[in-house]
Amino acid sequence: MPAEKEKRIGVFICHCGKNIAGGLNIRDLVESSKQVKGVSFVAENKFSCSEDGQQDIQKAIHEQKLDRVVVAACSPSLHLMTFQRCGEKAGIEPQFVDLVDIRKWTMHGSPQKTNPEEAFEQSKSLIELAVKRMRLKRLIPMAEIKAEHSILVIGGGVAGLEAGLDLADKGYNVYIVERLPTIGGKMALLYKVFPTNDCAPCILAPKTAYANIHPHITLLTNSEVKSVSGHVGNFNVNILQNPRYVDLDKCTGCGECVEKCPIKVKDEVFSAGLGERKAIYIPYDQSIPKKAVIDAENCLYFQKGVCRLCEKQCPTDAINFDQKANSVEIKVGAIIAATGFDEYDPSPKSEYGYGRYSNVITQFQLARLLDIDGPTNGQLLRPSDGKEPKRIVMIQCVGSRDEKANPYCSNICCMYALKHAQIIKEMVLPKAEIFICFIDMRTVGKGFEEYYRRTRELGVLFIRARPSEIVQNTETKNLSMKVDDPEIGRLLKLDADLVVLSCATVPSSGTQELSQILGVKLDGYGFFKEMHPKLRPVETNVRGIYICGSAQGPKDIPDSIVQAKAAASCADSELRKSKIKIPQSLVRTSQLKKGDK
């Protein structure tokens, strides 16, 4: 048997300007790399990723007859593909080009930055390990597979709908899975949107209506993803459709069943806990699909075996108490997670009395009160006695920028406080006094600073301070707090009829479970983690699975739509080639799992 040809490995060490060269001795690293077993050539570049840097690498590959390359520079998530393409142009298989991150030890601002001696030793070790991998690495056989011309979108909010509609218009078959009985997400429950104060349903309704009738879109509401297997181009997905106990094909959304239902329960979702709904209900007037759904946990028939008034009242015989959960199996070429966010529960911030004092509410609850389709039909009435509040205090950053809760800024809180203050002053209670207690007003989007100034012009008062503990008068249910106002240099006592907490946006419930199902990593705060925050913000560690909107982190509606379009574009770029190259082992593993079933 002939001896295996010795591998010729080239090592290229990048200065990255001063990001690396300023933190360790490049010359010593070059000399130490020359001594590593298997290394045939070592060179340094000022900027390896630049056009000149890549040309130098390609020239060295030809002149030194290299067949494997290790680049010591920055993170693989940033430039591994750059150098793999560079090597491929010079005739090297992409699998035989590696990138190791030595910049993390030297760059200012990196949490792993260390002293030059330690950085040198760490970098030397990384290069040695990478070279050893290259010496032992064998070519992985690749297979060409036919990609499914269909895509799964998880989440029916504005980001999920935008991504789904973009792809459906390109001819893909799109499945939109939504765990609630209706699509639209959080935006469907808003009255206005900043910075234009346009009607939120007017913007969203055309998208929900189009998604409902689009020939290439299948809506799976009241549903959740239970398992995912396979690989890019050919994912096998199991979806559980929970029973509505209402036949969607027969239900006309007339609402007669709702009127006759004798059971009322607190509506935690569509009225944010401030209103009631029936045990059988249509979520709201513009629901898509506008069909009834039965809440089995509160239905008299399911709990006590009596009633069935809705069944008797229904003119189309749509009620079906025997309906069971249905398992749906689909094949898709790509997956987009657009699972949105939840509002932080401020109960742990006991100083504010949320959950103890009925007149302490959140901004999302305020949004429902201001909505003409909300629990009070757009009248701002405080929960304790149904009276109009004369003085309102809003408290910013509740659960945000807080090391004991969520250290990050939630991005949208300042703006939705300004929005609600404007709505109250201009449309609901012009004479009401409104105070906004804040740390910093972060109004960084297009037209946002002007929006902030407009709010001030309306007479809303801003106090740069956090209030102390809120105290309630047990008789009047009025609230009071002390605020140390640095502008005037003294302690203020603020009395309020209503306190509104601007709470953090946090990952939606079920994100942790879904990340395990998809195999997608989460960041330190529990949001889905992108491959690279600058260059690959909608790609994940799993090829063919993308993220967008608030599933990736807090953001407003325009940014969510931009990301949705980016995710749709990435999925389209991957699948439009019709055939995809993947490691042959993935195909075999997928076939074995299919056979096991």
- Rounded to the nearest integer, the mean pLDDT of the chain is 94
29, 34, 120, 223, 243 from 12: Cα distances, Å: 11, 11, 15, 51, 59
Q: How far apart are CA 362 and CA 383, in angstroms?
A: 12
pLDDT band per the 50, 70, 90 thresholds, residue 506: very high
Q: How far apart are CA 294 and CA 299, in angstroms?
A: 7
Q: Residue 589: its pLDDT value, please?
A: 61
Is residue 216 predicted with pLDDT exceeding 80?
yes
Q: What is the pTM of this model?
A: 0.90
Is residue 338 predicted with pLDDT exceeding 60?
yes
Q: Which two tokens stand for residue 88?
A: 């491929």
Is residue 594 predicted with pLDDT exceeding 70?
no
Q: In 502-576, where does DSSP find H-type helix?
A: 511-518, 557-575
Q: Residue 591: its pLDDT value, please?
A: 57
pLDDT band per the 50, 70, 90 thresholds, residue 1: very low
Q: How far apart are CA 233 and CA 531, in angstroms?
A: 19
Is residue 2 predicted with pLDDT exceeding 60?
no
**Contact call for residues 354 and 365 (beta carbons, < 8 A):** no
Q: How far apart are CA 203 and CA 23, in angstroms?
A: 52
**Contact call for residues 463 and 486 (beta carbons, < 8 A):** no
Q: pLDDT per residue over 234-256, tens digit each?
A: 999 999 999 999 999 999 999 99
Q: pLDDT per residue over 478-495, tens digit each?
A: 999 999 877 777 788 999
Is residue 5 predicted with pLDDT exceeding 90?
no
Q: Which single residue is written with the structure tokens 């911030």? A: 349
Q: Residue 171: its pLDDT value, please?
A: 96
Q: Residue 87: its pLDDT value, please?
A: 95
Is residue 347 predicted with pLDDT exceeding 60?
yes
**Contact call for residues 543 and 231 (beta carbons, < 8 A):** yes
Q: Which two tokens stand for residue 321?
A: 């108490």
pLDDT band per the 50, 70, 90 thresholds, residue 459: very high
State the average pLDDT over residues 139-164: 94
Q: How far apart are CA 137 and CA 239, in angstroms?
A: 39
Q: What percent of the chain has pLDDT over 70?
A: 97
Q: Which single residue is written with the structure tokens 């108490």? A: 321
CB neighbours of residue 493 within 10 Å: 9
Q: Residue 491: its pLDDT value, please?
A: 84
State the average pLDDT over residues 384-397: 96
pLDDT band per the 50, 70, 90 thresholds, residue 597: very low
Q: Residue 596: its pLDDT value, please?
A: 47
Is residue 38 predicted with pLDDT exceeding 50?
yes
450-453's contacts with Cβ under 8 Å and 24+ in sequence apart are 450/195, 451/194, 451/195, 451/415, 451/418, 451/419, 451/422, 452/414, 452/418
State the average pLDDT over residues 207-211: 96
| Domains of the chain and any CATH numbers | 9-139 (3.40.50), 150-242+325-340+508-582 (3.50.50.60), 256-313 (no CATH), 342-506 (3.50.50.60)
Mention every residue, 6+ apart, whose C-beta is less than 8 A from residue 574. 147, 232, 233, 333, 334, 543, 544, 580
Q: pLDDT per residue over 104-117, tens digit each?
A: 999 998 899 999 99
CB neighbours of residue 476 within 10 Å: 11
Measured in whole angstroms, how far is the alpha carbon of residue 174 from the centre of its chain? 19
Q: Residue 586: its pLDDT value, please?
A: 77
